[in-house]
A = this chain, B = another copy of it.
Amino acid sequence: MAAMNPTGRGKPAFSPLYRQIKALITQDLQAGVWKPGTAIPSELELAERFRASQGTVRKAIDELAAGNLLVRRQGKGTFVATHTEQTTRYRFLRLAADDGSGRGLERRLLHCERTRAGADVARLLELKGGDPVVRVRRLLLDRGAPVVLDDIWLPGRLFKGLDAARLAQYNGPMYALFEAAFGVQMIRAEEKLRAVAADAAVAALLGTKAGTPLLSVERRALTYGNRPVELRRGLYRTEAHHYRNELQ
C-alpha cells in the first residue's frame, strides 16, 4: 500500500497509511460488510490484510472509534456502533428533566404519510423537488405530559415500506428501527436551536397555550459520507425540561 497519493490535486498530496486504512474500513462499514452490533476482524487480522503493523491499524480504528463509528471492548473485540443498545440508544437526544429523573419517555405517533418534497426539504436532503418523502409527526411524553412535538422528513427511496402501521407496531428508538429495518445508520447530526412561540395548533398538541415559548430544534442527520438522510424539527416544552450541552 502506497503511503503517497500521486493523483492528489491541491493540498492533500500526502495521506498517511493509517488514514488510507481508515478510509478502506469506512467503505466496508458503508457497504454493510459488517452489520451494526457485530465485531469487525481483529487488529492483527486487519494488519495482515492491509500489510501494515498492528499499531497502524490501531490508529485507524482509534479515529473511527473517536467518531463513534466503532466501539472498542477490551478482551472482546471491536464492534460496529449501533443505536439499538441500552447504553447508546438516545445518543442524539439532549433532552433532560430538570429534576434529573430518568428517560422513560413515551412515544405517540400522530401522523405518517408519503408525499413529495418541497423546495426547502429537497435542498436540505439533497433530493430533487418532488422526490418522494415520508413525513412523520409524533409526540414524546414524560409521565403522561407532552414534552416534544417532532416533525420528521425522510427520503422515500431509502425508507421503502415505512408507514404508519410499521411505526405504530414498533416501540423503541426510531434510529434503531432505521438501522435494523432499512440499513440506514445515523452517524452525526447538525442542529439549529431557536426560541419560538407556539401557534394554536401546536399548543393544542402539546397541551399548552398559544404563545407559549418553545425551544425549536432543527436537526439534519447524516450517514456515511455526510449524506443527509433525515430532517427533524422538534418543538420542546421547557418548563420542566431542558436541552443539555457540553462545550469543550
Contact = CB atoms under 8 A, between A and B. Distances in A.
A189 B247 contact: yes
A72 B123 CA distance: 38
Contacts of A247: 91-92, 94, 188-191, 219
Given A193-B193, A213-B195, A238-B194, A245 B248 contact: no
B244 A190 contact: yes
Binding site of A, secondary structure by majority: helix, strand, loop or mixed? Answer: strand
Interface centre among A66, A68, A195, A219 (most CB of B within 10 A): A195
Contacts of A91: 247
Interface in A60-114: 66-68, 91-92, 94, 96
Given A195-B238, A219-B247, 12 more contacts: A68-B248, A96-B192, A187-B248, A188-B246, A188-B248, A189-B246, A189-B248, A190-B244, A191-B244, A191-B247, A192-B243, A193-B244
Interface of A: 66-68, 91-92, 94, 96, 187-197, 211, 213-216, 219, 236, 238, 242-248
21 contacts: A66-B66, A67-B248, A68-B248, A92-B247, A96-B192, A188-B248, A189-B246, A189-B248, A190-B246, A191-B244, A193-B243, A193-B244, A195-B195, A195-B196, A195-B214, A195-B215, A195-B236, A196-B213, A197-B213, A215-B215, A245-B245
